[in-house]
Chains A and B, each alone.
Chain A
């Protein structure tokens, strides 16, 4: 795992309880300068993001028929060729920015009596998108740290979304209790699916990559089947769609009804904080990481590896289930066969970009969510297909995963390899049973 904790990452390097309490660290200035010269993880990540965006821009420009037409006349009118390419990419990106962060026009309007909420609506959309992403990528990240690979966030998401949705529309409870129970049901739903994977891995040695892939399909079909049954289908509809979640079970809006941002983001941030605590401060977390670094050594040290695998997957599944709960109770309010979207797969790339640390995951999820929310706006206003966002995201992660490539591109010097850099878990299919 060169990429998760592979880079010596300043203060975020894994620090176990066994580390000496205090050590005189280098000053801030030295860290800052070294970071730029040697290309530490933050610099590499920033450069990877820039590179991804530039490559995406090139792809936008050079797949635009208008631009290609101008480039056909490159030698007779070189200025027009370059400026049309620039215009194509920059208008797409400015639309994306307006959809993700803030739209300048709405700010102007707000000063002249327009609505305030339209100023914050892009940020709100970004946060709404980020909520399930944070939780789903935590679900991928936690097993990573224990040397396990969770491709099954999709299936666990479905488990959580289903139970949360069921409690949401099928059960009647008093206001506050209802939403809490529904969210907890989401956790439980995901944990059941995830725990199954962990238990199978622990008891029979079944390869978790296969089991999670297969469970994704099983859960997708199960959802489709259940939504087709009379009990879960909305009365009066023939397509597979569940009844609406009751008002008492919906996650409350944080800033009024004009903005879609809801308490889900609080759940997600709490999840990230919980995982951070788990990894850094709890015995569980210490055992997970020990298993991830070296299962044999962990077993010799008396850690029950099988139990560790089960626990990791229980919690990871629960986190993915929370993602499902946040989508169903926060924005969709209903179950559809496509409720799981691409959160499961996106969770993997976000976990990578976040370098296996909870704070990193939150920041990476915000970036992804911004790109996605902006991409929707971009497609609406410039007809650039939103799939470009997926390309940019993949390119960024590829570059983040290969720091030597970025260092080579930008002529940064590589820091000599330390023993700390090497001591990272390698993930393969079948670790040690």
Chain B
């Protein structure tokens, strides 16, 4: 019996490897045939400075067609490597990342051939800022799920955070008050989630969806009722200015991307670091994970399961609320109906995609942020591919990865199951 199962498993992994390898090779072929041979004549010029740095990085000019062919060949080789050899876990991941990077580079070459220079630093900068609400939302989900409470209400937490931040900052005329209000509003949804999930044992996925609908309705109603008629007093909060980190911001390429943004990016760094260290390297985190894996065992050694879950959800809400505040007082500068537009669900997917780890979630969030930024730049450049297809790509990639490459993910063992103290 077990031999049969083992054989079947081996066949399945072999299949998966071959399919993935063939997929990489196909991407490479697309690079060669589509982007390489189909390229416009001329060079692709990549710019690496946004202006204002002390050290100037020269533009990189590449013959578009040839480069794409070289990149595509590399991709085909990697596909063959992936299918033919039994690679270690790290090597597999490196290959996947490399193939994606090669594909994107080839795409950029194709798009930019004979066009105005493409600002790589600007592209990466914009990717990073676009992923801020995703990262913060994913952290909110992660904190809850590590204690075994599923948080689908991230979307609602983002939206109400955006609303509260805009209103508070406009009414008081102080941005920091908006930031705090946004965070608190997110925390409030966290409290609601906790009360209904933990005290009233409502199914957590369903509860999250309902809370999202609730917030969508409430903010939409108040927007029409109050924010539209009193636009100047309630919905013109202004936006946080950028802060250059002295010294670090002057490093070429890296400086403008990572150290020349507004306060939200730095908050995100701090939150990310705190969550990573807190959850995996402290006694506090060990207890949280114990609650998520085996609440009964945790309770027997004296960990307060119910209290831990409440705390985690409220903390998560506070963090997602900051992410929401970013949407108004960190980027757009005004609240709009339903402005979170599904980013909470994307954050959730990023967290699962990242296998319930902070850095994994960040990686996935960056993928979405990059796709969104890339789409924006390509539409400015007038790329010869329909932007809708391009916008679809990150979602397709997630499906492919979830179905093929990641396989079965391991979530916290007690995730989604209510704990009834007996």
Q: Which residues of A does B touch, CB under 8 Å? A: 1-4, 59, 63-65, 149, 151, 200, 204-207, 209-211, 213-215, 217-218, 221-222, 224-225, 228, 345-346, 348-349, 352, 384-385, 387-395, 397-398, 401-402, 404-405, 426-430, 433
B226 within 8 A of A: yes
Task: Please determine whether B209 and A221 come into contact, CB atoms closer than 8 angstroms.
Answer: no
Kindly specify which of B132-140, B181-189, B197-205, B261-269 makes contact with the partner chain: B197-205
- CA of A433 to CA of B150, assembled, Å: 19
Interface size class of B (residues with CB under 8 A): 35 or more
Known: A228-B386, A391-B218, A395-B214. A218 touches B196 (CB 8 A): no
- CA of A349 to CA of B345, assembled, Å: 17
Task: Please determine whether A221 and B392 come into contact, CB atoms closer than 8 angstroms.
Answer: yes
The residues of B that contact A384 with a CB separation of less than 8 Å are: 225
Task: Please determine whether A213 and B210 come into contact, CB atoms closer than 8 angstroms.
Answer: no
Known: A63-B222, A206-B402, A387-B220. A401 touches B206 (CB 8 A): yes
Q: Which residues of B does A touch, CB under 8 Å? A: 150, 196, 200-207, 209-214, 216-218, 220-226, 229, 342, 345-346, 348-349, 352-353, 386, 388-389, 391-392, 395-396, 398-399, 402-404, 407-409, 411, 415-417
Task: Please determine whether B206 and A426 come into contact, CB atoms closer than 8 angstroms.
Answer: no
Out of A3, A387, A430, name the residue touching B203 (CB < 8 Å): A3
The residues of B that contact A224 with a CB separation of less than 8 Å are: 388
Out of A204, A392, A428, name the residue touching B415 (CB < 8 Å): A428
The residue of chain A having its C-beta at the shortest distance from the C-beta of B209 within the complex is A348
Known: A210-B352, A391-B218, A395-B214. A385 touches B409 (CB 8 A): no
The residues of A that contact B391 with a CB separation of less than 8 Å are: 221
* Closest-CB distance, A2 to chain B (whole angstroms): 5
The residue of chain A having its C-beta at the shortest distance from the C-beta of B218 within the complex is A391
The residues of B that contact A221 with a CB separation of less than 8 Å are: 388-389, 391-392, 395
Task: Please determine whether A207 and B402 come into contact, CB atoms closer than 8 angstroms.
Answer: yes
The residues of A that contact B229 with a CB separation of less than 8 Å are: 65
Task: Please determine whether B352 and A218 come into contact, CB atoms closer than 8 angstroms.
Answer: no
- CA of A401 to CA of B197, assembled, Å: 10
Task: Please determine whether B407 and A204 come into contact, CB atoms closer than 8 angstroms.
Answer: yes
The residues of B that contact A401 with a CB separation of less than 8 Å are: 196, 200, 202-203, 206-207, 210
Task: Please determine whether B221 and A405 come into contact, CB atoms closer than 8 angstroms.
Answer: no
Task: Please determine whether A210 and B398 come into contact, CB atoms closer than 8 angstroms.
Answer: yes
* Closest-CB distance, B151 to chain A (whole angstroms): 12
Task: Please determine whether B416 and A398 come into contact, CB atoms closer than 8 angstroms.
Answer: no
The residues of B that contact A428 with a CB separation of less than 8 Å are: 150, 204-205, 411, 415-417
The residues of B that contact A3 with a CB separation of less than 8 Å are: 202-203, 206
The residues of B that contact A346 with a CB separation of less than 8 Å are: 213
The residues of A that contact B210 with a CB separation of less than 8 Å are: 348-349, 352, 394, 397-398, 401
- CA of A150 to CA of B349, assembled, Å: 15
Out of A210, A398, A430, name the residue touching B196 (CB < 8 Å): A398
Known: A221-B388, A398-B214. A210 touches B349 (CB 8 A): yes
Task: Please determine whether B217 and A387 come into contact, CB atoms closer than 8 angstroms.
Answer: yes
The residues of A that contact B225 with a CB separation of less than 8 Å are: 63-64, 384-385
Task: Please determine whether B221 and A385 come into contact, CB atoms closer than 8 angstroms.
Answer: yes
The residue of chain B having its C-beta at the shortest distance from the C-beta of A144 within the complex is B206
The residue of chain A having its C-beta at the shortest distance from the C-beta of B216 within the complex is A390
Q: Which 8 A-B pairs have the closest CB atoms?
A: A390-B217, A428-B416, A394-B214, A385-B224, A387-B220, A225-B388, A402-B200, A391-B217
Task: Please determine whether A427 and B416 come into contact, CB atoms closer than 8 angstroms.
Answer: yes
Out of B342, B352, B386, name the residue touching A217 (CB < 8 Å): B342
Known: A390-B217, A393-B217. A430 touches B403 (CB 8 A): no
Known: A391-B214, A429-B411. A222 touches B203 (CB 8 A): no
Q: List 29 A-B contacts (CB under 8 A).
A: A1-B203, A2-B201, A3-B206, A63-B222, A64-B225, A205-B407, A205-B408, A206-B402, A213-B345, A214-B402, A217-B342, A217-B395, A221-B389, A348-B206, A348-B210, A349-B210, A349-B213, A385-B225, A387-B217, A388-B221, A391-B218, A395-B214, A398-B207, A398-B210, A401-B196, A427-B205, A427-B416, A428-B417, A429-B411
- CA of A417 to CA of B245, assembled, Å: 60
The residues of B that contact A352 with a CB separation of less than 8 Å are: 206, 210
- CA of A129 to CA of B252, assembled, Å: 58
The residues of A that contact B416 with a CB separation of less than 8 Å are: 426-429
Task: Please determine whether A218 and B399 come into contact, CB atoms closer than 8 angstroms.
Answer: yes
* Closest-CB distance, B386 to chain A (whole angstroms): 6
* Closest-CB distance, A356 to chain B (whole angstroms): 11
The residue of chain A having its C-beta at the shortest distance from the C-beta of B410 within the complex is A430
Out of A1, A151, A404, name the residue touching B209 (CB < 8 Å): A151
The residue of chain A having its C-beta at the shortest distance from the C-beta of B391 within the complex is A221
Task: Please determine whether A210 and B216 come into contact, CB atoms closer than 8 angstroms.
Answer: no
Task: Please determine whether A430 and B396 come into contact, CB atoms closer than 8 angstroms.
Answer: no
- CA of A295 to CA of B204, assembled, Å: 20
* Closest-CB distance, A369 to chain B (whole angstroms): 16
Known: A349-B209, A394-B210. A429 touches B352 (CB 8 A): yes
* Closest-CB distance, A389 to chain B (whole angstroms): 7
The residues of B that contact A398 with a CB separation of less than 8 Å are: 196, 202, 207, 210-211, 214
Task: Please determine whether A200 and B403 come into contact, CB atoms closer than 8 angstroms.
Answer: yes
The residue of chain A having its C-beta at the shortest distance from the C-beta of B415 within the complex is A428
The residues of A that contact B411 with a CB separation of less than 8 Å are: 428-430
Out of B203, B213, B217, name the residue touching A388 (CB < 8 Å): B217
* Closest-CB distance, A384 to chain B (whole angstroms): 8
Task: Please determine whether B150 and A225 come into contact, CB atoms closer than 8 angstroms.
Answer: no
Task: Please determine whether A426 and B203 come into contact, CB atoms closer than 8 angstroms.
Answer: yes
The residues of A that contact B389 with a CB separation of less than 8 Å are: 221, 225
Task: Please determine whether A214 and B349 come into contact, CB atoms closer than 8 angstroms.
Answer: yes
The residues of A that contact B209 with a CB separation of less than 8 Å are: 151, 345, 348-349
The residues of B that contact A349 with a CB separation of less than 8 Å are: 209-210, 213
- CA of A64 to CA of B222, assembled, Å: 10
- CA of A390 to CA of B202, assembled, Å: 20
Task: Please determine whether B203 and A433 come into contact, CB atoms closer than 8 angstroms.
Answer: no
Task: Please determine whether A207 and B417 come into contact, CB atoms closer than 8 angstroms.
Answer: no
* Closest-CB distance, A380 to chain B (whole angstroms): 13
- CA of A376 to CA of B226, assembled, Å: 19
- CA of A131 to CA of B216, assembled, Å: 23
The residues of A that contact B217 with a CB separation of less than 8 Å are: 387-394
